[in-house]
Amino acid sequence: MNKILLSLFLAAVSLSSYAQHFITDPNFRQKVETAFQAKMKVIGKKFYNTKGLRVSPEEEEALRFLYAYMPIADATDYPTAYHLKNIRTALRTRKSMAWGKDVPELLFRHFVLPMRVNNEPLDSSRAIFYRELSERVKGLPMKEAILEVNHWCHERVTYEPSDARTSSPLQSIRTGRGRCGEESTFTVAALRSIGIPARQVYTPRWAHTDDNHAWVEAWADGKWYFIGACEPEPVLNLAWFNEPASRAMLMHTRAFGDYEGPEEVMLRTNNFTEINLIDNYGSTSKIDFKIVDKDGKPADNAKVDFKIYNYAEFYTAVSKYTGEDGTTFLSAGKGDMIVWASKDEQFGFAKATFGKDKSITIKLEYNEKNVPKEADLDIVPPAQNSTLPAVTKAQRDENTRRLTYEDSIRHAYIATFPTTESMKDYRYPEATSYIVKARGNWKTIKAFVEKYANQQERAIQLLSTLSDKDLRDMPMEILEDNMKAKSSQLSPRVESEMILTPFKQFFEKAFAKEAASFRKNPALLVDWIKKNIRMNPDSRAMRIPQTPRSVWESRITDSRSRDIFFVDVARSLGIEARMDFVAWKIQYKQDGKWVDVDFDAAAQQTAKTGKLVLTFTPDGFLDDPKYYSHFSISKIVCGQTWLMNFDEGQVDMGGGATWSNTFKNGATLDEGTYILVTGQRMADGSVLAHSRFFQIEPDKTTTLPLDIRQESEGVKVIGSFNSEDLFDKDGQSVSILSQTGRGYYVLGVLGIGQEPTNHALHDIEKMKDKLDKWGRPFVLLFKNEAEAKKFQAQKGEFPNLPEKTIFGIDKDGTIQQEIAKEMKLRNTEQLPIFIIADTFNRIVFLSQGYTIGLGEQLVKTSSKL
């Protein structure tokens, strides 16, 4: 008996010891410890401070795991206590939620524990979301819990396009809206808060149309499922993007840390493991690549950029590096990419057709002085190939009912925001627009305006430097720091960095002795940074920007954060400084001239420049090509491409750089080698592209034709549709013909509140003038009366639809069903659907689902009729 008791005691001790480990595999635990010690050598042990926190062995291992792989910004901008608090919440969730015991350690470690999802500011959402959601999902199976969490997310956030900076989950709740990257960040945070493994999945760029998208995968009962973030469906693996996703070339996610899962690894860094998920969504194929130098020898550690045509550039969707034998590989959707390899300022590229090519060799035969000739490139995206899960009518009806109720909850919250009408009598009218734009942050902006009413000119000037998104999440302490600082350089923002802590008054004091000499000669500030701030030796590190205060305190950073730090310090001392977004370089002003900052140069100077003039002859369809839509320019730097970022205008609403306003009379560019890419997207998603390399020489003008390839064939009849079909208009049943009269018309069936429909309507608005000139009617149909009312509530979002727009309801879905049947659509429910047809029942144009540039496609087709 004593032996049995002793044996049980030893077993209990062993089990207790085992339970103390966050990482049970001793080999991986040692790997993490090695990475942790390496990180401490880089940032310094003062940023890992557990004194007085009473950390358990399990918590200590989890902390060290996070610190081993987190970006430097997360280690230096957030205290150890912050990270520990989130670890404790996650570990509690693991024990309190019914599925906690079923989540594998691997998935918990990489897809539950980490707070960071993308490049958002970290916040306190985990504990808050746990309190909100744990009771709501209590008793539900995991798959049902995932759906329920998405309904909760939809109550609080809906889609709205905005700039590229990612709001935190709590900031998204405050404003009630977010772009897809913010919705998915928010939803992943919500799922992780209750212990469900979740990851943000994104296609870096669509292959069949412009733009990109992000959504969520969540794990349940041994399998990963996808959902549209804040866009609840009745079942998993169903979203508006099923069809577009089947046409994508690549799907990524970044697993925190050194992830050893079953998926194909595309890139492994000291912060994350980028894995390829394309096989979850479409038909794929693999190509082996060999990179050789100009002598034909294998090029090891060559960078290989896989580029998808999107927004008139070949966008780097993923980068890999060759091994010692000069090889790498990629699995992707069965379409075309440009594969660009570079090393030591040499480069080479080739078109790769996945599904056809098996192996490709690329020679690094070019450099900035020796470039390829111009070339036409036909780019074909993958074909559509998706299978939709079954949904019953009862499921669909219940989901629709819930969506309507959830919309009402969110609308009730948004209704508390000030409007231009409610603020019409405000005593500080100059501030009204800023308060309205601030949405859920309006009280902060209003309080700021009123607190500094006696300095209103400076207060308004400060607010004018902020973007709409800044107004929505800028805290009072940042506003006051800039307001009270002595500097006349009021803007707190350099680019899309996170602004977490005040810094201007801090740097006034920190550089009090040097300020006068720095103002007289800003190059001395450059020298100070070169001498005092170390660069992170990890060139592949995730570049989450540090706050300027943490750069100062840690004295280590990356090139992005260093550039932001320079501009922020300079402005704090009254030196005019900025980020030049066209060439993506920082500058300071001295003696009335902008000087480029080069931390590798012995002296600072302004780059030599020349001019680029593009010639173009307008035609009936394309009068003024748009930058990003029809052409783009990239500089060749060290054998790699760097896009020139000209003004893109208001997101989703046009404007921005065009041929006539920027390049017709000449645009100034730094000397160097560039590539001009042009393209025309066809209705089937393919692209007629053209590339041309050119040189900009100092004080000289380079004149080039802006060649945009056009489809040579005319309009074809592609189907039939009965123009006598009936729809409901103002309670009356009317025929399409009775509303349009004889001739061509556009017919659209809309999915109200869905991202594809929002994009489509905004794209049509951009082309209003041309469509009004065409003069034919637009018949836009809702699926039911509820959606018609929903559109009326948000009609103000689409103020510039064509003049001859007629609204109605396709009550029984008759029109949608007929189009689907006649055009043999695989997915009869995917919206929006647009056709151009005539009253002789001929269809000459069809678009279904997510398409960027729909307005242009309608104009292009109408110009040929």
pLDDT of residue 620: 67
Instruction: Give the tokens for residue 480.
Output: 């006051």
Rounded average pLDDT over 472-501: 96
Question: How many percent of the chain have pLDDT more than 90?
Answer: 83
Label residue 164 by pLDDT band (50, 70, 90): confident
Comparing 34-43, 711-720, 809-818, which segment has the lowest mean pLDDT?
711-720
pLDDT of residue 815: 95
Mean predicted lDDT score pLDDT of the chain: 93
Alpha-carbon distances, residue 607 vs 583, 585, 587 (angstroms): 11, 11, 11
Label residue 654 by pLDDT band (50, 70, 90): low
Label residue 19 by pLDDT band (50, 70, 90): low
How many domains is the chain built from? 2
For 798-850, write each residue's pLDDT tens digit: 899 999 999 999 988 999 999 999 898 888 888 999 999 998 888 999 999 88
Q: What are phi and psi of 342, to 5 degrees?
A: -150, 150
CATH of residue 802's domain is 3.40.30.10
Is residue 9's pLDDT more than 80?
no
CA 655 centroid distance within chain: 20
Instruction: Classify 576 as helix, strand or coil.
Output: coil
Q: Would residue 392 count as lying in a domain? A: no
Residues 6 or more apart from 56 whose CB is under 8 A from it? 20
Rounded average pLDDT over 757-766: 92
Q: Which of 554, 565, 499, 558 is nearest to 48 (CA)?
A: 554
Rounded average pLDDT over 282-286: 92
Rounded average pLDDT over 327-334: 96
* Cα 445 from Cα 43, distance rounded (Å): 36
Is residue 652's pLDDT more than 50?
no
Q: Would residue 771 count as lying in a domain? A: yes
Rounded average pLDDT over 253-269: 95
For 336-364, write each residue's pLDDT tens digit: 999 999 999 999 999 999 999 999 999 99
Is residue 8's pLDDT more than 50?
no
Q: Would residue 169 count as lying in a domain? A: no
What is the maximal distance between C-alpha atoms in the chain? 100
Q: Would residue 852 count as lying in a domain? A: yes
Q: Would residue 590 count as lying in a domain? A: no
DSSP string, 228-244: -TT---SSSSB-TTHHH
Rounded average pLDDT over 718-744: 91
Contact yes or no for 47/76 (Cβ under 8 A): yes
For 666-694, write each residue's pLDDT tens digit: 999 999 999 999 999 888 889 999 999 99
Mark which of 466, 484, 502 sits at the end of a domain: 484
Mark which of 468, 484, 500 sits at the end of a domain: 484
Q: Which of 432, 469, 449 is nearest to 182 (CA)?
A: 469
Is residue 286's pLDDT more than 80?
yes
Give yes or no for a cis peptide into 832 (omega within 30° of 0).
yes
For 502-522, write each residue's pLDDT tens digit: 999 999 999 999 999 999 999
Label residue 398 by pLDDT band (50, 70, 90): very high
What sign has the CA pseudo-torsion 321, 322, 324, 329? positive
pLDDT of residue 17: 38
pLDDT of residue 650: 56
pLDDT of residue 11: 38
Q: Which of 219, 568, 49, 330 is nearest to 338 (CA)?
A: 330
Q: Would residue 158 count as lying in a domain? A: no
Strand 327-333's sheet: what is its strand order?
A: 327-333, 284-292, 359-363
pLDDT of residue 795: 65
Mark which of 443, 464, 484 sits at the end of a domain: 484
Provide the domain limits for residue 439. Answer: 417-484
Q: Would residue 478 count as lying in a domain? A: yes
Rounded average pLDDT over 231-255: 94
Q: Would residue 441 count as lying in a domain? A: yes
